[in-house]
Amino acid sequence: MQPSPLQPENGRVTTDELSDLLPRFDQRGMDLQLDRMQGALKHLGSPCGDIPAIQIAGTNGKGSIASFIGAVLHQNDIRCGVTTSPHLVSWCERIAVDGQPIELADLRQLLNELASVFKTFQLTPFEQLLASALVHFHRETVDLLVLEVGLGGRLDATTAHPKRPLIAMASIGLDHCEHLGSTLTAIATEKAAVITPESCVVSAEQHPDVRAVLENRCDQQGAELRWVNPLDDSWCLGLAGELQRSNAAVARGVLLALGPHGWPLSDNDLRTGFARARWNGRMQRVRWRNAPLLMDGAHNPPAAEQLNLERRHWPGEKEGVNWILGIQAHKQGVAMLQTLLQPQDRAWIVPVPDHKSWTLEALLQRSPQWTQQWTQQLIAASSVEQALVQINAPERRKSTVPVLAGSLYLIGDLLARAVVTAE
């Protein structure tokens, strides 16, 4: 089970706790290749090289799948090391053994200990964290790894791990197009490249273009491809939202496939873990000054489409929804608005702290066909707090709970500053 980062240690904001050791990701830029990571791991003696890994690839839902898998493994006393990204409050969230994040002091020690290796092989911050994780997992003598892909798959650092017999494929959609390609086929090809000979791949239903890529890749590699359907209502899930039934189904398929690897599990073994799974920032209900708020990290058009489907279950949504949207400038902000906004909705456009973000002016300039409608619907705000003050004014309050979306970094900032509290 993932611990909640809602309460920063000793009340301190920990977002920049490793700024002296880890540069901001955007300062280095995207630099995808495997040679650096493979070289560094070989130099380190291939930590966990003989430990089998469940690799989680895809676009949306990877963290949720990791949460379901990790919760079940912990529940069944299978010692596992889990890496996820991004984090919300602390870098330590990215590296966990049996549901417990690495201690900050231990992570600092690892980063200092491995600094010369990082420099020699010019590792990116993501690669540094993964190398640290594998060394940590080796020292903690884990039995199994769960590795969430950061970006893409073919050149992702997690793909440098040599033993990945099980692949969990989350929903694949258009995101990071500037790095992975402008079509679903191109993006799916990059992500499907993680599939290795004789591996077992589990996926819920995908777009036909994606399905074709996965089937072709599995045929080429002699890998087994298992399609799964969303879990029915008899399954109690710790994560809210209908999409989680598909994510949980993928997790279930992978967990049941562990049998030949020495860990036979039944559905009864899975149910308790699934019910206890937690993953902050995904359809998470919190409170601001005792007023309710729903937070979701949807940050690309496919995730926005899913959030739009979820609204059907929100009481009073036909009267309109008050949105708070913070979207990074390199994301498809216009497409997300087109997906999310109904005519009766209002949306407050806020900056994502410490990140270049879409502004109201930029959104209107890029979408002249929507200018007249959006001028009535969109409101600029300098912060989430300013937006919440306006939303909760009696004349603007709606029967639906306000929804904050667009960026996990935005959610992480709110949690780190304790602006919101868990319900």
Considering the entire predicted model, what is its pTM? 0.86
d(CA 229, CA 261): 24
d(CA 329, CA 317): 28
Q: Are residues 237 and 313 in the same domain?
A: no
Give me the number of domains the chain comprises: 2
pLDDT band at 279 (very low <50, low <70, confident <90, very high): confident
Q: Are residues 96 and 115 in the same domain?
A: yes
Domain residue limits at 22 = 9-276
The answer to whether position 185 is within a domain reads: yes
The answer to whether position 2 is within a domain reads: no
| Model confidence pLDDT, tens digit, residues 53-101 | 999 999 889 999 999 999 999 999 999 999 998 889 899 999 999 999 9
Q: What is the pLDDT of residue 280?
A: 87
Q: Are residues 363 and 257 in the same domain?
A: no
Q: Are residues 63 and 141 in the same domain?
A: yes
| Model confidence pLDDT, tens digit, residues 304-360 | 988 998 898 888 888 999 999 999 998 999 999 999 999 999 999 999 998 999 999
Q: Are residues 177 and 109 in the same domain?
A: yes
pLDDT higher than 90, residue 9: no
Query: 29: domain CATH number?
Result: 3.40.1190.10
Q: Are residues 264 and 326 in the same domain?
A: no
Secondary structure of the chain as H, E, C letters? CCCCCCCCHHHCCCCCCCCCCCCCHHHHCCCCCCHHHHHHHHHCCCCCCCCCEEEEECCECHHHHHHHHHHHHHHCCCCEEEECCCCCCCHHHHEEECCEECCHHHHHHHHHHCHHHHHHHCCCHHHHHHHHHHHHHHHCCCCEEEEECCCCCCCCHHHHCCCCCEEEECECCCCCHHHHCCCHHHHHHHHHCCCCCCCEEEEECCCHHHHHHHHHHHHHHCCEEEEECCCCCCCCCCCCCCHHHHHHHHHHHHHHCCHHHCCCCCHHHHHHHHHHCCCCCCCEEEEECCEEEEECCCCCHHHHHHHHHHHHHCCCHHHCCEEEECCECCCCHHHHHHHHCCCCCEEEECCCCCCCECCHHHHHHHCHHHHHHHHHHEEECCCHHHHHHHHCCCCCCCCCCCEEECCHHHHHHHHHCCCCEEC
Q: Are residues 17 and 63 in the same domain?
A: yes
Query: 337: domain CATH number?
Result: 3.90.190.20
pLDDT higher than 90, residue 394: no
| Model confidence pLDDT, tens digit, residues 221-248 | 999 999 999 999 999 999 988 889 999 9
Q: What is the pLDDT of residue 317?
A: 87
Mean pLDDT over the full length of the chain: 90
Q: Are residues 270 and 334 in the same domain?
A: no
Q: Are residues 272 and 306 in the same domain?
A: no
Q: What is the pLDDT of residue 1?
A: 41
pLDDT higher than 90, residue 21: no
Domain boundary among 257, 276, 295: 276
Domain boundary among 209, 242, 276: 276
Domain boundary among 254, 276, 298: 276
According to DSSP, the residues that pair with 166 across neighbouring strands are 54, 200
The answer to whether position 4 is within a domain reads: no
pLDDT higher than 80, residue 28: no
Q: What is the pLDDT of residue 422?
A: 82
Among 19-33, 126-140, 266-280, name the one with the lowest average pLDDT: 19-33
